[in-house]
Amino acid sequence: MEVIKVADYEALSKKVCEIFINRLQTIENPVFGLATGSTPKGLYKCLVETYESGQISFANAKFFNLDEYIGLDKSHPSSYTYYLMKKLYEHIHLTPDQIYLPNGNATDLQEECARYEQCIRDCGHIDLQILGVGINGHIGFNEPGTPFNSRTDVVNLTESTMRVNSRFFKSIDDIPHRAITMGIGTIMESKEIIMLVSGKHKADTLQRMIHGNVTEDFPASILQKHPNVTVIADEEAFHD
């Protein structure tokens, strides 16, 4: 696990954007896995700006969303589909066959999870997976206690995750209690992972992720076992 410490959120976004663009330009048909939440926003902004300046093309790339709430329409402003459409996909001229989304409104959710997992396999697995981390160590929506070999599945959100994520909803009562998420096993098959961590409130989380025991009680700790992980974290995310 390589850990890169940068001064602040702006530097974090710039650093991950540089690496992302490098993979876009050096991998023949790159497959990216993308996370949502506050932390990767700067990355998406940087990618859109670089695209608009004419320096890069996404024509050969494919994109997989990491997770999605169950029961929200894709036009719901708090859905992860909507988030990535608005923050990235709509700006970089993709065709629909370049974008893979778990459908949280599928009639048969188990079948949807199997379909998604198969799509990832058919694309030859993810070349670069961007991750953020929940305060309790969740990756995607894999909450503490999830087996390390889990595959894409329907999961229940913990009270604490619902509370933290309620900031993206009108009220805490509006937040779905379930989601579809790539499994930990699925994420670990990515050829490369970049984990982004920003802010004081993540300092304990970062510490435990990079130095703590590898345990299912803290899902992000499994990243210590992946052969190609880079953690990019800003100064605030480190204990003094």
Q: Reduce the DSSP state of residue 70 to 3 states and report it.
A: coil
CB 99 within 8 A of CB 86: no
Q: Of 56 and 224, which has the nearer Cβ to ligand GLP?
A: 224
Residue from 91, 103, 125, 136 carrying the catalytic annotation: 136
Bridge partners (DSSP) of residue 154 are 180
Q: Of 14 and 56, which has the nearer Cβ to ligand GLP?
A: 14
Residues in CB range of 211: below 8 A, 6 or more apart: none
Is 2 among the catalytic positions?
A: no
Binding positions for ligand GLP, rule: CB under 6 A? 35-39, 66-67, 132-134, 140-141, 161, 165
Joined together, the tokens standing for residue 81 give 């589909």
Is 136 among the catalytic positions?
A: yes
Is 138 among the catalytic positions?
A: yes
Residue from 112, 127, 143, 192 carrying the catalytic annotation: 143
Q: What is the DSSP string of 139-200?
A: BTTB-TT--TT--SEEEEPPHHHHHHHGGGSSSGGGS-SEEEE--HHHHHTSSEEEEEE-SG
Residue from 65, 67, 117, 192 carrying the catalytic annotation: 67
Least separation in angstroms between residue 19's CB and ligand GLP is 18
Cα–Cα dist 198/148, whole Å: 24
Is 8 among the catalytic positions?
A: no
Q: Of 51 and 165, which has the nearer Cβ to ligand GLP?
A: 165
Q: Of 146 and 165, which has the nearer Cβ to ligand GLP?
A: 165
CB 221 within 8 A of CB 215: yes
Q: Which residues are known catalytic residues? A: 67, 136, 138, 143
